[in-house]
Structure 1
């Protein structure tokens, strides 16, 4: 009974070539856009994190040099 229902449904539903081509095009385009957006998000987040770490290290180096200079000046007096 179930098999005959599927066969009957298969006979009644027909997709045109135009519909199939458009559906495959939309699917491929959507998949490509999703992958591109995901990769852009991943790499931009990674780049922002690296830039933040670089600026933090630069700032801590400057503060350390300043404090070392202040310490040396206070030791001389």
Structure 2
């Protein structure tokens, strides 16, 4: 399937709008853009809940200060 984070938010939105246009099925749209149907459905759901911000790529790597680490210990 696709590489992780291959599409930016604007591209994801264009794919979602293609799906909403109703001219192709989920399977057809997913194949055309080399993504899974599951990914397509997740994008659509996040867009409906959070708008374009929900489609942004977020880094899950967080850094914590030494002080915070000590408080947690």
- TM-score w.r.t. structure 2 length? 0.24
Structure with larger Rg: 1
- TM-score w.r.t. structure 1 length? 0.23
**Higher RCO (CA < 8 A, seq sep 6+):** 2
Q: Whose helix fraction is larger, Structure 1's or Structure 2's?
A: 1
